[in-house]
Copies of this chain bind each other. A is one copy, B any other.
């Protein structure tokens, strides 16, 4: 089937919610005035999306995987590889990837897991560690890369690795770095034993070389906490995922504010676009984001955009903050409505999951979605909200159906059969 138009998925992270007494029994989406979102619902086709399965609370990573058509039950092996890709590491299928913290080790105990939220010098430390371990450990290649502040990522590459191991990060101050061991049930697995040995050796030797690194000598002079330990955690195996362009035959871009999702986009080989003013916070510049979306659509077949603010408000449990965040999403969509030619574009608005204020966490509730533009069969729904969209003509959309529905409208999904 020939592609007939361009495709846009525009998500408010965690935008769905539950009725709140403080909003007169309405959800934030129902309470907040959202003229642009309602325009989309009125002129489009609505439904309730459950990206992985109805009722299953999802993370941002698994939800975005499912929305992009990759079954997380089949492919998700932990957040590590996406985080590592997001900080710029060359993660390859089969690699073990870890999040890490530069931490402060004092007399054998971790006294600050974030090394005083160290601002500079971690690039040099990562360089030092990569030099130190250039010969590998037990034949396993070790690659470290710094990220913002105390954050870093590490990959292990080689034969006989296993993700079935515990964290080196003790997860609280005042404890020694945890000795890494195979997870319960994997005690006798030689790969898990070896991987644990490699990580333990890495933690020990990296602390030795960082103790005398110039940046730490300087920090000592300034009375700042040392960055003399690097603690891996959250290990995951890099999955074999077909690049987005191969999977869907689309030249895709991603404009998102969550590092984890950016990492997924990079892992899928999508163009991940940075937008100045996109802070990932409640103060983000939604118009700058919308402008970037319009520009990205000029040069791509497919764009996925996600504004993080509603999720933050949901985690904060603040309905008014969530209404304000939703107003931001609405303004962004209003900007798009004015500037995109809907005769050759199709958009799905929605979210990756719900983050109900009453829970302060993700839920497995249905996410209202609306498809608008080329190819749609507008239904009777006139507002964008949880209960309105639930009676829309797409009904329940679940598992990996979203990309098929959007691609069907755009003409990018190939005919199956004759």
Q: A residues bordering B, Cβ < 8 Å?
A: 1, 4, 18-19, 27, 48, 52-63, 72, 76, 79, 234, 260, 358-359, 361-366, 375-380, 386-387, 390-397, 401, 403-408, 411, 413-418
Contacts and interface: CB of A to CB of B under 8 A. Distances in A.
Contacts of A76: 416-417
B417 A58 contact: yes
Given A54-B405, A55-B405, A387-B393, A417 B61 contact: yes
Given A18-B377, A377-B387, A418 B48 contact: no
Contacts of A394: 54, 366, 390, 396
Which secondary structure dominates chain A's binding surface?
loop
A244 to B, nearest CB: 17
A365 B391 CA distance: 17
Contact of A61 (B61, B359, B361, B418): B418
Contact of A62 (B234, B361, B365, B416): B416
A55 B417 contact: no
Given A359-B411, A364-B408, A380-B391, 15 more contacts: A1-B361, A18-B376, A48-B393, A54-B401, A54-B404, A55-B403, A56-B404, A63-B417, A76-B416, A363-B375, A366-B394, A377-B387, A390-B392, A391-B391, A396-B396
A123 to B, nearest CB: 26
A53 B401 CA distance: 8
Copies per complex?
Answer: 2
B414 A57 contact: yes
Contacts of A62: 416-418
Contact of A397 (B54, B56, B397, B404): B54
B53 A415 contact: no
A393 B393 contact: no
Contact of A413 (B57, B63, B260, B380): B57
Contact of A387 (B27, B380, B395): B380
A260 B366 CA distance: 34
Contact of A59 (B4, B61, B234, B416): B416
A53 B404 contact: yes
B364 A27 contact: no
Contacts of A416: 52, 56-59, 62, 72, 76
A61 B48 CA distance: 30
A407 B53 CA distance: 13
Contacts of A395: 48, 390, 395-396
